[in-house]
Structure formats: C-alpha cells, structure tokens
A and B are shown apart, each in its own frame.
Chain A
Amino acid sequence: MGEDRRRFLKLAGLTALCAAGKGSLVRLAGAESPATGGAAKKKIRWAMVVDPRKCLEKEACTACIDACNHAHNVPAFDNPKHEVKWIWKEPFADAFLDQDVRYIDQALTTKPVFVFCNHCDNPPCVRVCPTKATWKREDGVVMMDWHRCIGCRYCMAACPYGSRSFNWEDPRPHIKQVNPDFPTRTKGVVEKCTFCDELLDKGQLPACVTACKEKALTFGDLNDPDSEVRRLLRSRFALRRKAGLGTNPEVFYLV
C-alpha cells in the first residue's frame, strides 16, 4: 500500500512538471519563432462595396459583366438552364429576399443590382466540398481549384446566393472570344467568381472594378480602417444579402 502511494505521488509530480514545462516551452517558442512573428503582420480581408445608384446612370451598361466573362472565358450557353454566371443582374427584391424593400427608394428597388459570389467569411460551400476544391484563402477570397473539382455540386446546393454554376456541357465551343491567358473549364466542373485572384496576386484590382467607368464597384481591405471600402461603409448604410443566415457575406450594397 505504502509502495503504491509513493509511486502514485512520483507519477503525479512528474506529470505536473511535464505540464508546467510544456506551457513555458510553448510560450518561449512563441516569443521567438518567426512563424508567429509573421502573424503580427496585418492580415488582409478583401471585400467589395457596390453602389447600385451609380448603375442607374447607365441602365443598360454591362461593362463589368463583359469584362469578367472575357477575362475568365465564361461560356454563354443557349439553354438558360445551363447558364454559367460569375457576375450578373438580379432584381433588387430577389437579391435581398430577407429585406422589406417596400419603403426603400423606388428608384433603386425597381432596378436590378449586380450580384456575384459574396466571398463569405463563413462560406457554406467550403464546408460541404468533399475534395477541398473550394476553400477560403487567408485574405478571405473563396477560391476554387478546378483541378480538384469532381462536379458533385454540393457547393451549389449549399450556396444560398446561387453564385455557383455547373458546366453541363463542354464550355469550349460556347466561349465567344477566348482569352488565352486564362484557362477554360471542362464539362462537369463548377465555377464562380474568385475576386480575380490572378490579378490580386499581381497587385491589381478585379476586372469588373477596373471595367466600371461609373465607379459603382469599390474593392478593398476591410481590415484597413483607412481603406476606401471602410470609408464608404462608414459614410453610408449598406445591405448585405441574406446576412441572417450567418454566412457573413463580404459584399456590401450601399442604399
């Protein structure tokens, strides 16, 4: 009995020592490792602010859509059920289904708004993807890896915004003018807006933002209090699409 207790006390003491030692080791490593030092660097959180009022000036304007479709080889299928959309127009009331739009300025609510992937901070499409073909980047962009997409369309079922499209046919013959610098997709692959990751990586703005002459689209870093997007969000009230679902969409619509 006495032997047992002694052994127990020894073991307990050793365990406590290990636990304490580990804590201080972690703290020590944390203070000196360059990996954690890097985290102190300001993290970027890309977001878009849309000003639908500026779109009212030229109602038939589709400059952003055209620029995007050309930049990313978005196919134009004849069958409306097969439509592939990255950025498109949606009637105001449909875009903001959870909003009571009856008393919002009619000039705005009777016209369509431009919608695209919301690059949610809590993206449901990412949670359901079985192959990690879609994931959230460090900078908040909800990316797609078309090499890995198996076309199961779980992400399309999960996305509450209909931001994802499926290639039911081979898209190649349906691309009006092929941009050789960007790949096409194949039949059986899902695609969507990626905030022009290929341009972001080069330090440029997304194609739709550059194409819009009316400056209706503003792109920037939400984590930077001096950025243009933060300035706009401070000065005017903004709606988000179906924010109540908890997806935390990062595309804002000024009203």
Chain B
Amino acid sequence: MRERAWIFTGLAAFLALALAPVWQSALHGAARKPEPKIVTKAKQCVEPTAEMRRNHMELLNAWRDTVVRRGQRTYLAADGKTVTMSLSGTCMSCHPNKKEFCDACHNYLAVSPYCWECHIEPKEKS
C-alpha cells in the first residue's frame, strides 16, 4: 500500500476535473439563460407566444415546404388570422433585431440554423 498517496491524489484530481462544471458554476454563477428581446408592439405572434417558443422551428419548416413545394404563401393561424409565410418578410418585420432575438438563444444552445446563409437578414446597427 505504498502507492496510497498517489492513488488518492489521482482520484482527487480526476474528481476535480470531472466535476469542473459544478464547481465552476458555483464559483462564477451559472450562465444566464438568455431572454429573446421582443421589440414589436404587437400583442401576439402568428401563434401564441408559448407555442412559438417551443415550436417555431417546426412552423418555419412547414412554411418553407408549403411555400416552395406547394406554392401556397398564405398561412391560416389557429385563431383565424392569415399571414404571408415569409421569414425575411413576415417574421423579421416584427423582429428586426436578429442578434438579440434569434442569435441570443441559438448561441446559448449551440444550435446553428442555416437560414441566413441564403435569406437576407435585416440591417442592424452593430
């Protein structure tokens, strides 16, 4: 049992490394959950806010397929409103602050949708 000291030092080092996320967040405080900044005065998005937060990606995919593949450009919302299905036209007219509205959460979650590789983002003061 002469190596006891080494074994326990190694174990301690391993635990410290493995639990780094825990003590790092205890030390510095957890990364703040981003809150998308909504600048529009409109009361509601095309669907209720909770629904949009959870499912906006599915909605956008459905819009994309309906417009491109079926040539239909008007969306009938659950409450009977109709809107033009357009990312840069409809979505970004209410949410022109892409950095604070889209990127804030996407960066936090490390997702990188490729919308803006083709679609043109609204001009922002940087």
- Pairwise interchain contact A180-B120, C-beta atoms closer than 8 A: yes
Nearest A-chain residue to B92, judged by Cβ: A180
- Pairwise interchain contact A185-B118, C-beta atoms closer than 8 A: yes
Query: Within the complex, which residue of B68, B88, B120 is in contact with A145, where a contact is CB–CB below 8 Å?
Result: B68
- Pairwise interchain contact B71-A183, C-beta atoms closer than 8 A: no
Nearest A-chain residue to B86, judged by Cβ: A181
Contacts A201-B73, A202-B73: A183 and B118 contacting too (C-beta < 8 A)?
yes
Contacts A147-B64, A181-B88, A181-B89: A137 and B118 contacting too (C-beta < 8 A)?
no
Chain A residue numbers with a CB within 8 Å of B119 are: 183
Contacts A180-B88, A181-B88: A145 and B69 contacting too (C-beta < 8 A)?
yes
Chain A residue numbers with a CB within 8 Å of B71 are: 137, 139, 143, 197, 200-201
> What is the number of residues of chain A that contact chain B, defined by CB distance less than 8 Å?
19
Contacts A180-B88, A201-B73: A186 and B117 contacting too (C-beta < 8 A)?
yes
> What is the number of residues of chain B that contact chain A, defined by CB distance less than 8 Å?
13
At the interface, yes or no: A56 with Cβ under 8 Å from chain B? no
Residue of B89, B117, B118 with most partner-chain A CB within 10 A? B118
Interface string of A163-204 (1 = CB under 8 A from B): 000000000000000111111111000000000010011100
Residue of A147, A178, A182 with most partner-chain B CB within 10 A? A147
- Pairwise interchain contact B120-A183, C-beta atoms closer than 8 A: yes
A184 to B89, CA, bound (A): 15
Nearest A-chain residue to B122, judged by Cβ: A180
A147 to B62, CA, bound (A): 13
At the interface, yes or no: A146 with Cβ under 8 Å from chain B? yes
Query: Within the complex, which residue of B72, B73, B118 is in contact with A184, where a contact is CB–CB below 8 Å?
Result: B118
Interface string of B59-87 (1 = CB under 8 A from A): 00000100011011100000000000000
- Pairwise interchain contact B68-A147, C-beta atoms closer than 8 A: yes
A179 to B88, CA, bound (A): 11
Chain B residue numbers with a CB within 8 Å of A137 are: 71
Chain A residue numbers with a CB within 8 Å of B64 are: 147
Query: Within the complex, which residue of A178, A197, A201, A202 is in contact with B120, where a contact is CB–CB below 8 Å?
Result: A178
8 A Cβ contacts from A143-167 to B: 143, 145-147
Interface string of B86-104 (1 = CB under 8 A from A): 0011000000000000000
8 A Cβ contacts from B102-126 to A: 117-120, 122
A189 to B120, CA, bound (A): 17
8 A Cβ contacts from A116-147 to B: 137, 139, 143, 145-147
Instruction: Rank and list the top 10 A-B pairs by shortest CB-CB distance, nearest first.
Output: A183-B118, A180-B120, A183-B119, A145-B68, A186-B117, A201-B71, A201-B73, A184-B118, A186-B118, A185-B118
The 30 listed contacts between A and B (C-beta, < 8 Å) are: A137-B71, A139-B71, A143-B68, A143-B71, A145-B68, A145-B69, A146-B118, A147-B64, A147-B68, A178-B120, A179-B120, A180-B88, A180-B120, A180-B122, A181-B88, A181-B89, A182-B120, A183-B88, A183-B118, A183-B120, A184-B118, A184-B120, A185-B118, A186-B118, A197-B71, A200-B71, A201-B71, A201-B72, A201-B73, A202-B73
> Beyond the given A146-B118, A179-B120, A182-B120, could you list 19 further A-B residue pairs with CB under 8 A, ordered by the A residue number?
A139-B71, A143-B68, A145-B68, A147-B64, A147-B68, A178-B120, A180-B120, A181-B88, A181-B89, A183-B118, A183-B119, A183-B120, A184-B118, A184-B120, A186-B117, A197-B71, A200-B71, A201-B72, A202-B73
